[in-house]
Amino acid sequence: MRAHAGAMLSHMTEYVAFLRGINVGGHGAVTMADLKKAFEACGFKDVKTIATSGNVAFSAAMAEAAVVKKAEAALKKQLGRETPVHVRSRDELRKMVQADPYKGFTIPNDAKRVITFLDASAKTGLKLPHHQDGASILRIEDGVAYSAYIRTPKGAVFMRVLEQAFGKGITTRTWDMINRLIK
């Protein structure tokens, strides 16, 4: 259940923000220090950037929707760019992993599992499972699509499949990264 956009919580919640389109570490890139400063400017506590992945862990005493609004505004102010932010609490991520959304599907051993955070405008009327170009969109629950893909010499074809299915307002991470974030 998502809380009201302006809702303040009486306790601190551990969150992870998944940023779309952040070039961390490359030429003309945002630095991890830049991301940390932007999130600290929001008043968030215990801010930590994770790897060079565009993921930020932190604590806040506000609901997810309010966190998203505040983080997006801070990134625009601090970095001068519109950056879509998807946020989940660590508890939500733990429950996601414990529920094993891939159970019941036959996934090849060499397939990479990915999750895709969908924005409000995402089309979700696909007949599932949807298989295309080595990518399989298996399940959609609570604004998240669970997929698997086989690496091909054509590159990241699976991202094209996901964008065709859901539009450009998505943010995708590997299942391995989600498991890493809950530890």
CATH architecture of the domain covering 8-89? 2-Layer Sandwich (3.30)
The whole-number pLDDT of residue 28 equals: 60
Q: Tell me the mean pLDDT in the region 6-28.
A: 76
- Write the pLDDT tens digit of every residue in 23-75: 666 556 788 888 999 999 999 999 999 877 789 999 999 999 999 999 999 99
Q: What residues contact 64, with CB distance under 8 A and at least 6 apart? A: 2, 3, 15, 87, 88, 89
Mean residue pLDDT across the chain: 89
The whole-number pLDDT of residue 4 equals: 45
Q: Which amino acid is at 95?
A: K
Least confident range of 26-40, 79-93, 158-172: 26-40
Q: Contact, 180 vs 113, CB < 8 A?
A: no
Q: Contact, 59 vs 79, CB < 8 A?
A: no
Q: List the one residue out of 40, 45, 38 whose CA is nearest residue 24.
A: 38
Q: What is the chain's length?
A: 183
Cβ neighbourhood burial of 56 (10 Å; 0-12, 13-18, 19+): buried
The whole-number pLDDT of residue 183 equals: 83
The whole-number pLDDT of residue 127 equals: 94
